[in-house]
Structure formats: structure tokens, C-alpha cells
Amino acid sequence: MAFILLNLDNLSSQVLNEDDKVLNSKEDSEFKKMKRTDSEWRRILTSAEYYILREKGTERAFTGEYDGHFEDGIYVCAGCGHKLFDSETKYRSGCGWPAFFQAMPESVEESEDNSYGMRRIEITCSKCDGHLGHVFNDGPQPSGVRYCINSVSMDFKPKEDK
């Protein structure tokens, strides 16, 4: 069952599924930050998604659904459906988490993370601010970076056959 919400601020609509996760919006490049209360996130997300996306948790290495997943398609945020990574940028890093050498334009935001005595760069969804993982400077060319992402923080949308 799908519901349609009308955003009167910019007269765009978003189609939501029964879990209230955004399936698509007006344009990926034209989006507004999604703001929800903690209780709304708890209702919408599974306990694992809430732990990763809202509490900045990390799933155990080599346990995620998408670590060894290499189908053609797009990886989207499990919290809001925002497009994050094209499967063409995914590679086997051996780190135990899905790894990508490039994010989709304007899909993620980076911030300094000094937790646990480490100096890292945290990656969050640019639409809902959900924690995705971290980015490191040890990836392959052409970018030289490795986006190390929790599987739980993403859903996968296969490419449609044409």
C-alpha cells in the first residue's frame, strides 16, 4: 500500500511505502533534508537499522548482506531511500563491509569522527543524516578512496532490464 504526502513548501510529492521510507522524490539533485523525531525513526526503522543509522553503530565484519553482493543496480539509504552508490563503483576490498570507490553526486556528507581514539571520516546520508560508515584513503583508482559502508544502512534496487 502506498501513500502520497504533499509538501506544501515546494509543492513536490513523495511516495512512501508502508514503512514510511521514501521510495522516490521529485529529483535526486533537488531535495530537502528529511527531519524526523527520534520516536518516528524508532517506529520506521528496524532495531538494527536504528542502531546503525541513528546511533552510529557498526555491524560485525563479514556479516552484512551486501558485502559479497555484486548485482547491477543502485544502493539506497535504508532510512530514506536516497540514492547513494551505483553498483559499478563497488569492489571487493576484503575489509568485511561493502566497499565503493565513489559515491553518487551529492549523496553523502563527510565529517570528522574522532571516536574510540581513532581519526576517521564519517559518511552520512545527505538527505536524512543517517550514519552509513567511513571513508578511507586506501581505495583503488580512479578515486583512491574506499567508502566502507554498513550493509544494514542500505537497501538495493536492481537495474531494470530494458
Classify burial at 5, counting beta carbons within 10 Å of its beta carbon; exposed 0-12, middle 13-18, buried 19 or more: exposed
- Provide the 3-class DSSP secondary structure of residue 1: coil
Q: Which helix (H) or strand (E) is 27 found in, with range? A: none
The half-sphere exposure of 141 on its side-chain side, counting CA atoms within 13 A, is: 0
Catalytic positions, written as ranges: 148
